[in-house]
Amino acid sequence: MNEQDWLAEQFEAHRNHLQNVAYRMLGSLNEADDAVQESWIRLSRTYHHEVENIGGWLTTIVSRVCLDMLRARKTRREELILERVAEPVNSSPNEEDPEHEALLADSVGLAMLMVLGHLNPAERIALVLHDIFALSFSEVGQILGRNEAAARQLASRARRRVQGARATADSEEFNRRKELVDAFLSASRAGDFEKLLAVLDPNVVLRQDPAFPPVKAWPVVHGAESVAKGFAGRAQGARLVLVNGSVGAVVAPRGQMLFVLELKIVDGRITEIEMIAEQSRIRELDLAEMKD
């Protein structure tokens, strides 16, 4: 077997692990695929015979690729829609450790989704590599170009944000809001006018985006009955998402983004609904899909 074939074989043996690392960092399966492919290109160009731990070396490469992608994304304000979370792949060196497995499973939960877009690239890399994949802070620091103490501080700061989001995600208030928006979407799909009225404040205001042609003539709609009539039998392609950390919805039939709904809730009723259809505005939102 020549060197290139051997290298390709080693890369394929670690592909699942690299995909797992990239997905946790980027939050997008498509971007994770791109990162893994770029890692292969860099590996084929830079591999040295003296590398003893090719798995660790590949993790370093894919982490640096992800770091570059995160920095570029922040600069360009690219759209990020987190895809439905897949089951975690047991690919870490601590895969037999139940505590580590529980941490890995929790890492892709609602709390992580709520803050992922708000962590800076270095914080995200430090948190994922140390808390999820059990790399030492010394190793994390080498990947980030920081010392061990700085890497530890980055992970600690990111961890506090996740813990705060977890408290929010577990709160009764958050769950009530989630149930209310879910009830609104279900009633809309079913065309149940009475159930729509039950979740809408009598003075609810709907602000529609003229960028969505079907509603161009009615930019603002007032009152529960008028809003309910507009939504009855609609929202067939709608699903729950986090919009800037709050419960909202997207309408994206067959994966085509039509619009986002931001909702304001007061005293258990929806008081404001804002439709966002302009793609440049959507790209400014932090969107994360919630698991059922």
φ, ψ of residue 289 to 5 degrees: the values are -80, 135
Residue 37 pLDDT grade (very low, low, confident, very high; cuts 50, 70, 90): very high
Sheet holding 200-207, edge to edge: 81-82, 287-289, 238-243, 246-251, 259-266, 269-276, 200-207, 220-222
- Residue 196's pLDDT is 95
Asked whether the predicted pLDDT for residue 3 surpasses 90, the reply is no
- The answer to whether residues 64 and 203 belong to one domain is no
Q: Give CA–CA dist 89/101, Å, rounded.
A: 10
Q: Give CA–CA dist 292/284, Å, rounded.
A: 25
Residue 152 belongs to what domain range?
3-169
CATH number where 213 lies = 3.10.450.50
- The answer to whether residues 256 and 184 belong to one domain is yes
- The answer to whether residues 25 and 73 belong to one domain is yes
DSSP class per residue in 48-59: -TT-S-HHHHHH
pLDDT digits (tens, 9 = 90+) for 87-102: 333 333 333 344 433 3
Q: Which residue has the higher pLDDT, 282 or 288?
A: 282
Please check whether residue 73 is in contact with residue 79, taking contact to mean a CB–CB distance below 8 angstroms: no
How many helices (H) and strands (E) are present in the chain, helices listed first? 13, 8
- The answer to whether residues 131 and 264 belong to one domain is no
214 to 106, 196, 211: CA distances (angstroms): 41, 21, 9
- The answer to whether residues 194 and 284 belong to one domain is yes
| Cβ count near 2 (within 10 Å) | 7
- The answer to whether residues 194 and 130 belong to one domain is no
Kindly state the percentage of the chain with pLDDT values over 70: 77
pLDDT digits (tens, 9 = 90+) for 180-201: 999 999 999 999 999 999 999 9
Q: How far is CA 217 from the centre of its chain?
A: 34
CATH number where 109 lies = 1.20.140
Residue 106 pLDDT grade (very low, low, confident, very high; cuts 50, 70, 90): very low
Please check whether residue 291 is in contact with residue 85, taking contact to mean a CB–CB distance below 8 angstroms: yes
- Residue 227's pLDDT is 93
- Residue 114's pLDDT is 64
pLDDT digits (tens, 9 = 90+) for 121-164: 888 889 888 887 888 999 999 999 999 999 999 999 888 877 77
- The answer to whether residues 62 and 126 belong to one domain is yes
Least confident stretch, 7-21, 76-90, 196-210, 269-283? 76-90
pTM attached to this predicted model: 0.54
